[in-house]
Amino acid sequence: MTSLILPAPQEIVNLAVRIITSRTFFEVVFFPGFLNVMLSAAFLTWLERKVLARVQLRIGPLYAGPSGILQPIADGVKLMFKQMIFPELADMKLLMLCALGLMLLAFAPAVAIPFGEGLVIANMDVGLVYVFAVMSLFPSVILLIGWGSNSKYPFLGGLRSLFQQVAYEVPMWLSVLGIVMMTGTLNLTKIVEAQQRLWFVIPQILGFAVFFTAALAELERTPFDLPEAESELVMGWMTELTGPAFMLGFLAMYAKLYIMSALITTLFLGGWSGFGFVPQPVWFVLKTFIVASVIIIIRGAFPRVRVDILLRAGWTRLLLLALANIFVTVALIISGLGWVWRI
Amino acid sequence: MVLDVWSLVAIFEILVFLVAFPLLLFGWLMGEKGRDPIRDAPFESGQTRLGEARQRYMMQYYPYLIMFIAFDVVAMFLFTWGLAFLTVSLTQNYLFLIFIVVLIAPLAYALYLSGKREFW
Amino acid sequence: MEPLSSYIILSSALLGIGIYGLVSKRNAIRLLFSVELIVNAANINLVAFARYSNPPMITGWNIVFFSIAAAAMEATVGLALILVAFRLNGTIDLRKLNRLRG
Amino acid sequence: MVDIAFLAISGLIIVSAIFALEVKELIYGAVGLAFSLIGVAGLFILLGADYVAMFQISVYVGAVVVLILFTIMLVRRESGKIVEQEEPSRLGRGGALVAGLVALAMAGAVIMLMPGSVEAPALYQVTLRELGRSLASSYAVPLVILGLLIGATVVGGLTLVKVEREEKSDGATQ
């Protein structure tokens, strides 16, 4: 009876050891899970500064660690100890809640993305739609940040972000429909398995172009970085976030970049598949960082577009291209080439 | 111990929360507190504040918002079609084409309206 | 798994909250919230009955798809109406929007 | 395990629904509504309807709540900090009474009429393909009618909200 009231310490230790040594724990905390996304996001902030510096013939971060690789950690420590300043009419509780919400939303899609064969936290049947559903929650949170700041730059940035993300979400979803039609599944693991013979970037080149453009807009990266256009809106909706709240928002944005690159890799670039004796996760992470680097280099190379042109192009050209992609896919399947991607 | 998919999602989210929330709390506890009218002024590039912040609304993009709601629903329905595309007979596939075609006229109308600045 | 009755009690409670909002609130947007809550109560029931019927049926899901889509459309038109009412009258308090009364 | 999840989710739904209706600021009300809708999605997941839950999140929370937030922001434009002056009058109490009675009657009636305690059949896996097939075969006509409804919504909503040009120019000249 005593064991019912208080389990022996030995049992607790045993249970803890069993949990910590289990594969699930490793997956959730370390590799495809939390630390992976966190460290990759931190690494991407460094990569962005370094690559942009090279594009602009500068050197970039240099002092913290070898060629400045520890710069994100220094930044993090600096931001942690900063005072949180909120404007006089701002809604502090709402801002803190939204910063936290951004973080939760940015990390959430990571559970569905397979980083290797069976190396996925939650192998869900609705994985693709889950990722999109979580991503569709971003605009409302960003709008709330802009509203809660009660300052002009964040509010304009929030509104722009809302319209931009909303406009590019629909083409993004429709561009993936071709893949869903070819594989007949929403499970991301099965979508990767279907690409063992040929990556989807070949038959779905139109869909890939639409998806990549829409991803740039969803990520608010140049040439679609209107919500945080430095020369007009200072930092956009992040202007009035300070200290740790800013750190969370910033980290969330880079985590989103990482997840989106991983999603592009999964859907179009064959996921974990590679050749040679290099393990699958290495392939996956390599491809992901290549995609992310391309997105970063685009920031250094292209100017910004105007907001009304951006929205109109999203709703006319991109939507039409996505619909055209569907018809191309139908033709491809009817012509009998579908067996290539049969699982 | 086998956990099902969605409890793993919940555990992951709780983990993220447990890391992010203490960060926020730590910063709030460690940081200096107290208000200062000059420091707490909203950022306006050094200008003094002119009027309410919540003033300029991009009403001319309202059609895009309504189109988004319509096509969000359409996209979710099209996903179910895409899933079944390989197993459904061709005649039943035409149905979804009708579903899309019906929506072309409203889309054109919305695009026409959104192009006219004087309506908004 | 819980028994079916727990889901029904939950959805009844949600329905009750929605009716309370409809009866006692005067703000048009609050009324919209209430309508959404009532629709959601119905959706919970549909999915629960679909799961608990033997063998489980997919029909409940399909009806819920249509229900959600129709509710989204209803909210869109409702918000447009609220916007117009605000533009014409400067308020969305339903008690002040009684210009049609003689 | 599942019982705890059910209790937590139903608590979230009820509390945030009441919060949505009772909180002073409308913006907070919209946030409460969003949490309530997410809770309903969680309930769908408990019931094994994953795709329905995703539909709920992306359409309701991702789209409708955004529109509600935008409209609230527009509506509050000129009317100061708080739009409504709620008085917790007898109307509120009467509403609560009516709502409670209706809810009790509904729950009571359904539970009384139900034969015994219904247990769930063993876990079933509805393949998502089946879902699309049933939509394409049995729900052909409703789907096209839904398309018409969506089109009517787009046209109707825009026609309502747009400003008539003549009216506007008249106002400018006078």
Residue A129 has pLDDT above 80, yes or no: yes
Within-domain flag for C97: no
Nearest to D140 among B6, B95, B120 (CB): B95
* Phi-psi region at A243: left, alpha or beta (left = phi > 0; alpha = psi -120 to 50): left
Residue A43 identity: F
* Number of residues assigned to chain C: 102
Where do the structural domains in chain D lie, given as residue ranges? 1-79, 127-174
Q: How many domains does chain C have?
A: 1
Closest residue of chain D to B65, computed from CA coordinates: D67
Closest residue of chain D to C66, computed from CA coordinates: D146
Contact B69 C76 (CB under 8 A): yes
Q: Could you give the 3-state DSSP secondary structure of residue B55?
A: coil
Q: What is the pLDDT of residues A73-113, one digit of tens each?
A: 888 888 888 777 777 777 788 888 898 999 999 999 999 99
pLDDT band at B109 (very low <50, low <70, confident <90, very high): confident
CATH 3.40.50.620 correct for D1-79 = no
Contact C72 B69 (CB under 8 A): yes
Nearest to B12 among A18, A33, A240 (CB): A33
Within-domain flag for C101: no
Written as tens digits, the pLDDT of chain D (174 aa) is: 558 888 899 999 999 999 998 888 888 899 999 999 999 999 998 888 888 999 999 999 989 999 999 888 888 754 444 444 555 556 667 777 877 888 788 778 877 777 666 666 666 666 777 888 888 788 888 888 899 999 999 998 888 888 765 544 444 433
CATH of the domain at C78: 1.10.287.3510
Segments forming the whole domain that contains residue C44: 4-89
Q: What is the pLDDT of residues A158-196, one digit of tens each?
A: 888 888 888 899 999 999 998 988 888 888 988 888 888
DSSP code of D57?
A: I
Within-domain flag for C18: yes
B102 in A contact zone (CB under 8 Å): no
Closest residue of chain B to A317, computed from CA coordinates: B111
Q: How many domains does chain B have?
A: 1
Nearest to A186 among D31, D66, D128 (CB): D128
For C:30-89, CB contacts with B below 8 A are 65, 68-69, 72-73, 76, 80
CATH of the domain at B75: 1.20.58.1610
Within-domain flag for C13: yes
Segments forming the whole domain that contains residue B103: 5-119
Nearest to A166 among B45, B65, B84 (CB): B65
pTM: 0.90
| ipTM score for this prediction | 0.89
Shortest CA gap D119–chain A (Å): 25
Contact B66 D58 (CB under 8 A): no
